[in-house]
Structure 1
Amino acid sequence: MKKTILRRAALAAAISTTSSGAMAAGFYLNETSISGLGRAFAAENTVGDNAAILARNPAGSALFDTITLSGGVIYVNPEIDAEGDVTYFAAPDTPIATLSDQKATDYAPTAWVPNAYLAVPFNENWSFGLAMYSNYGLETDFDSDWPVTTIADKTELLTVNIAPSVAYDFNDQFSIGFAVNFLYADATLKTMVPTNFGLNPTVAGADILSYDDADDWEVSWTIGALWNITDRTRFGISYHAELDPELEGDVNSDLVPLPLSPFNDAKGKVTLDLPDTLELGLYHRFNENWGLALGALWTDWDDFERLEAFIPAGGEGFNPLLFKEENFQSGWRYSIAGEYYPCEEVTLRIGYAYDEGAARDGFNTGDAAANAYGLPITWRTLSIPDTDRNWVTIGGTYKFNNQLSIDGGLAYLWGDDETIQEFTTVPAPTYFDGGTTNIEAWLAGVSLNYAF
């Protein structure tokens, strides 16, 4: 059995993928717990109603008096559509043909996002934790006859984060925690000639450039703290350091001649600048029946400027080889949620969040090829159709007894339509002038929690 098959089989139960354009800024994932889903992930690093807090704050294991397990899965059903005009050029100011109102519908596949957590108190002060989840993911996949697969065909990022942690509790009032993050990332980037490419049928369906089986392990860290201000009010803060996995994979191209060499399983390396994050949370229980959660999450996307590969076999002209300019910007996610406790066994939740997109508005004026043709191109791209999003969520927990409980959550999110303009010269100068016409998603999840 090949190494790739073994690797994917071993991680299949843990690894997750979802569409960045529908889920969160850039391709950051919030979907770390099902109780959090019902709260729109407000104060997810603070509430601590189950061991899933360990994904957001390693100090969370200090909240538990007994060994506690939590595990669940979230089903994500995104709907991303785009539409626009596609123009082919022979030379600047010399269009050959225009295909009007070209539509790509539902080009972000559905996904399952699993998670699992373990909190282990050691004594009155020390506790340990183990978290396994995904906090970055992306998949967009266009039909093979989409006229601009030369610009955007398949983009995929799969990740799993394994985070052992330790926490120290100071007199049940203040606790700190530290975690080590072991991140596995696997990526695919692909552009191809449309299968119905009429300008040159001899190259229809050919790979322009594919970057496959690119993967790496990266190590980083998280630090967090919890402050029990009163017996009803808790504040949490946590910081996740950035990750920079160097994804090594195989570069291939079917087309000759190209502005590229005819690569055949040439080795390449792409450094992926994944952002650091800072999360603030406040949870207050007013009385026996009502609670409030407030959250703010800052994601530092400024370092994610471009996707480029270093391909030693390509010589100077391909080191680096630019895939895509991105020029992301940092932003905030704000969330608020209410909880209602009608009885000891039941908790009901409702939440709202506003998530700022990482893709910049405006135009990339530094693209030499587009400038030569006098064509404006946006920072926002088809492969990562990012936008600001609104979330509305509901959820609940039912306790069977003091040991076993079940969580459920449901969310709907939507974003504004955005203008997208992109250009490529391979295999023929091609310009897309349009944008997204729909960005929305439904999320549903369930989890079980057990305290020994």
Structure 2
Amino acid sequence: MKNKLLLGTAAALVPCLTNAAGFQLNAQSATGLGRAFAGDAVMADSAAIVAKNSAAMAYIEQPTLSVGAIYIDSGIDVSNVSYTPMRGDTETFDDQSLDAGTLVPNVHYVHPIQGSKFTLGATVHSNFGTDVEFDDSFEADEFGGKTALSSINVGFAVAYELSEKINLGAGLDVIYGEGEIHRKNLLDVDADGFGLGANVGATYQVNENNRFGITYRYSPDIEVEGDITKGGVSADKMNVPLPDTLEFSGWHQLNEQWAFHYSLQWVNWSEFDSLTSDSYDDSIKEYQWKDAGHISVGGTYTMSKDIVLRAGYMYDISPTDELTSLSIPDVNRHWLTVGGTYNFTAASSVDIGVGFIIGESQDIDESLTTIPGTSSNITADVTADALLLGVQYQHRF
């Protein structure tokens, strides 16, 4: 039977092959990918805005459907590995390359209610996902192992046009996730469940060429249920603290062809301190992360009524602090992205996006005590890179 666990749990315990810091996943739209998701809290250039800032849905004037997917080809390189087992001498291992390819679909719909100031929206996408397996020859299996994860996020939102300058929005997210995790003689989890999140947002339009947006997303501590085994002791529940996020964006139309946009996102990763269960005196896993986030800038060039081009850069900050872990070899990342839109007609268009993610190097120094008075240790250098290819079709009714 495949192990299953709630989205946040799986991502928190596995080697992270997602394409953002921590265990976030930026794969909501090809439109956003093309501009490195700069301006995400205010730009309504696709129906995917429902997954970012519900208030900005008010800028969409027609019922709009967006259907797409992003393919993520990601990898982690683990080098200079030195392993000291609980018993025995320190060993050095060959370099490890952990590669995974994942297709992440998304569907978004935004519907302005004619004759009113309300706009409704719905979205189905994935916020987290990974599929990682260390080679069987990797002897430090208490630090490596196998993990697979998939997730679905279903969201509903409403926007209200408070005035000509101000829009307000709010939404609910229902998240389901499943996965597989195995750490030999250390940890096995078989659990699944749902999490309920909420978000609020606002936009302010200075004039027709300048807008600002802000959105806050609340993520509660989630209790998952299932079979959990740590060191031979079983439990059926586990608590997972998930971080809140705050994002501010700006959009400025410089002239008829050029627009400039940017985003600053803060993630309350310090909430993600440890995984716990009432069945254990100590925590299941300690992380003690620090608050982090990203900053992104981008540009949009309207070449003609049929063709729009985009480009962007993002600096994505890792939340790992003094405690480092091979199970989440997270690093600071640099995003370089390009994309564009082709309008077939006034009602239909296709978007593409390409992203190159270049990770910095991170030193890992992790110890585990599985027998009182005895511990094992691993040190390594880690880098994480990815290639993202996105496409989406959009139709305006």
Tell me the C-alpha RMSD between the 2 structures: 2.5
CA 228–27 in structure 1, closer or farther in 2 if over 3 Å, else same: same
Q: Deviations over 1:287-325 (max 9, x none)?
A: 1111111111111101101223444xxxxxxx2453321
In the alignment, the residues of structure 1 paired with residue 68 and residue 299 of structure 2 have an alpha-carbon distance, to the nearest angstrom, of 22
2:327 is the alignment partner of 1:358: no
Measure how far apart 1:216 and its partner are: 1.5
In the alignment, the residues of structure 2 paired with residue 32 and residue 447 of structure 1 have an alpha-carbon distance, to the nearest angstrom, of 10
Q: What SS does the corresponding residue of 1:110 show, helix, strand or coil?
A: strand
Which structure has more strand as a fraction of its residues? 2
2:104 is the alignment partner of 1:104: no
Structure 2 match to 1:116: 107
CA 425–267 in structure 1, closer or farther in 2 if over 3 Å, else same: closer
Q: Do 2:215 and 2:247's aligned partners in 1 also have CA atoms closer than 8 Å?
A: yes
Provide the identity percentage: 30
Structure 2 match to 1:331: 292
In the alignment, the residues of structure 2 paired with residue 275 and residue 35 of structure 1 have an alpha-carbon distance, to the nearest angstrom, of 26
Q: Deviations over 1:23-65 (max 9, x none)?
A: 2121012221110000000011211111101111111321222
In the alignment, the residues of structure 2 paired with residue 24 and residue 327 of structure 1 have an alpha-carbon distance, to the nearest angstrom, of 18
Q: Map of 1:424-435 to 2, 5 A cutoff?
A: 424-426=368-370, 429-435=375-381
Measure how far apart 1:222 and its partner are: 0.6
In the alignment, the residues of structure 2 paired with residue 322 and residue 145 of structure 1 have an alpha-carbon distance, to the nearest angstrom, of 29
In the alignment, the residues of structure 2 paired with residue 391 and residue 380 of structure 1 have an alpha-carbon distance, to the nearest angstrom, of 23
| Unaligned ranges ≥5, structure 2 | 6-10
Measure how far apart 1:186 and its partner are: 2.9
Structure 1 match to 2:198: 221
2:181 is the alignment partner of 1:236: no
CA 394–150 in structure 1, closer or farther in 2 if over 3 Å, else same: same
Structure 2 match to 1:210: 188
Larger Rg: 1
CA 20–172 in structure 1, closer or farther in 2 if over 3 Å, else same: farther
The partner residue of 2:82 within 66, 80, 85 is 85
Q: Map of 1:139-288 to 2, 5 A cutoff?
A: 139-192=131-184, 207-212=185-190, 214-252=191-229, 260-261=231-232, 266-288=234-256
Q: Do 2:15 and 2:329's aligned partners in 1 also have CA atoms closer than 8 Å?
A: no
2:28 is the alignment partner of 1:32: yes
Structure 2 match to 1:443: 388
2:2 is the alignment partner of 1:57: no
Aligned residues: 387
Structure 2 match to 1:129: 121
CA 400–320 in structure 1, closer or farther in 2 if over 3 Å, else same: farther
The partner residue of 1:380 within 306, 316, 324 is 324
Q: Do 1:398 and 1:406's aligned partners in 2 also have CA atoms closer than 8 Å?
A: yes
Structure 1 match to 2:354: 410
In the alignment, the residues of structure 1 paired with residue 99 and residue 278 of structure 2 have an alpha-carbon distance, to the nearest angstrom, of 28
Bigger mean CA offset, 335-344 vs 244-253: 244-253
Q: What SS does the corresponding residue of 2:55 show, helix, strand or coil?
A: helix
Partner amino acid for 2:101?
T
Bigger mean CA offset, 289-298 vs 183-192: 183-192
In the alignment, the residues of structure 2 paired with residue 350 and residue 127 of structure 1 have an alpha-carbon distance, to the nearest angstrom, of 29
Measure how far apart 1:139 and its partner are: 4.4
In the alignment, the residues of structure 2 paired with residue 167 and residue 72 of structure 1 have an alpha-carbon distance, to the nearest angstrom, of 23
Scaled by the length of structure 2, what TM-score is found?
A: 0.90
Q: Map of 1:59-78 to 2, 5 A cutoff?
A: 59-78=55-74
Partner amino acid for 1:25?
A
| Unaligned ranges ≥5, structure 1 | 9-15, 91-95, 193-206, 254-259, 312-318, 363-378
Measure how far apart 1:219 and its partner are: 1.5
Q: Do 2:241 and 2:275's aligned partners in 1 also have CA atoms closer than 8 Å?
A: no
Q: Deviations over 1:128-177 (max 9, x none)?
A: 11111222344432122211111231345433221111111134432111
Q: Deviations over 1:357-403 (max 9, x none)?
A: 1111x3xxxxxxxxxxxxxxxx1211111111110000000000111
